[in-house]
Amino acid sequence: MNDLIKTSPLGILAGSGSLPLYIAQRMKESGRPVVIAGIYGSAVQEIESYDHFWVKFVQFDALFKKLKAQNVEDLVIIGGVRRPKIKDVKIDFGLIRNLPFILSLTMGGDDKILSSVVDFIEGQGLSVVGAHQVVPELTVEAGVLTKTKPSKTDLSDIEKGIATVLNLGTMDIGQAAVVARNYVLCVEAAEGTDQMLERAKGLRQWGSKWLGRRFGVLVKLPKPNQELRIDMPTIGPKTVEMVGKAGLSGICVAANQVLITEKQKTIDLANKLGLFIVGKEL
């Protein structure tokens, strides 16, 4: 059965951003009930418009108990999963019982951590589903989404960017790179895409306007064997804004494997700035 038309309540473990609300609204439109578990300090207050409760990330017993009490079988985890901080930890029996798992979240790369999270949750009798499985239109489709199209130079940069990110991914390092004139300006590591683009601004002599046009692309795609149900790469209006400020010409992502937040707003902003957004099938 299509996840979008299931009648059992969909659980949403909500971090920051607008995607948890968008998914909840789409479920409401489809007639499927939702239960949102908002993570303190991350989820937006607007989740309270839906059936919800608040939880700290390490309060697993409370999370599972409340979800199961409302007959939730499927859980979407959206808005980011971060290693727990000491200030977020509430000492109780559930924490002590799950302490070995919690400590495992402090070691290793994101792939290892997120796969462990999925295994742990599914071991409690819940099924982890991806946002793209319940709302397929959340991903970037194949093709050019914008009025501006990539040039031959951009296409060459895209190919080099794809090869670079795939190599990074085999070592569980990052999901993105900036390439300009066939030169790798910077790659993403633990700091994330936004901070990488901040660094790209300082290298704008390679990506700034020259002879009346821009040079350089942001390439973003999942790592090989990445757990897409819980950690699909994402772009949105802020990404477009930062790409523009960095003097780049556009964005290329893996088609159907990257989420796009506020899709129309993102495309409209790219059109306004004269940037391209491309979904490339890999």
Question: For the domain that residue 100 is a member of, what is the CATH number?
Answer: 3.40.50.20
Last residue of a domain, one of 111, 136, 161: 136
pTM of the model: 0.80
* Pairwise CA distance, residues 94 & 255, whole Å: 40
Last residue of a domain, one of 80, 104, 136: 136
Q: Treating both helix axes as pointing N-terminal to C-terminal, what angle do 237-245 and 193-201 enclose, rounded to 10 degrees?
A: 20
State which residues form the domain around 272. 139-280
pLDDT in tens, 143-202: 999 999 999 999 999 999 999 999 988 887 889 999 998 999 999 988 889 999 999 887
The whole-number pLDDT of residue 275 equals 97
| Amino acid in position 214 | R
Same domain, 145 and 270: yes
* Pairwise CA distance, residues 43 & 67, whole Å: 17
Given a contact cutoff of 8 angstroms between Cβ atoms, the answer to whether 113 and 49 are in contact is: no
* Pairwise CA distance, residues 156 & 178, whole Å: 12
Same domain, 11 and 113: yes
Same domain, 171 and 249: yes
CA distances from 189 to 195, 226, 282 (A): 9, 15, 22
Same domain, 58 and 154: no
Which of the four pLDDT bands, split at 50, 70 and 90, describes residue 18?
Answer: confident
Same domain, 153 and 270: yes
Same domain, 113 and 157: no
Residue 257 structure tokens: 């494997």
Contacts 24+ apart (CB under 8 A), 194-201: 194/238, 194/239, 194/242, 197/239, 197/242, 197/243, 197/245, 197/246, 198/242, 200/246, 200/248, 201/245, 201/246, 201/247
Local structure of residue 141 (DSSP, 8 states): P
Burial class (CB in 10 A: 0-12, 13-18, 19+), 208: middle
Same domain, 148 and 71: no
The whole-number pLDDT of residue 8 equals 85
Same domain, 113 and 207: no
Element (H, E) at 186: strand 183-187
190: Cβ contacts below 8 Å, ≥ 6 apart: 174
Which of the four pLDDT bands, split at 50, 70 and 90, describes residue 96?
Answer: very low
| Amino acid in position 1 | M
Same domain, 190 and 80: no
Residue 249 structure tokens: 């010409």
- What's the CATH number where 189 sits? 3.40.140.80
pLDDT in tens, 125-149: 899 999 999 999 999 999 999 999 9
Span 19-35, mean pLDDT?
94
* Pairwise CA distance, residues 109 & 138, whole Å: 26
Q: What percent of the chain has pLDDT over 90?
A: 56
Same domain, 98 and 147: no
Same domain, 58 and 104: yes
SS3 state of residue 255:
coil
Last residue of a domain, one of 88, 117, 136: 136
Local structure of residue 160 (DSSP, 8 states): H
For the chain, how many structural domains are there in total?
A: 2
230: Cβ contacts below 8 Å, ≥ 6 apart: 77, 81, 114, 117, 118, 128, 130
Local structure of residue 188 (DSSP, 8 states): -
Same domain, 132 and 145: no
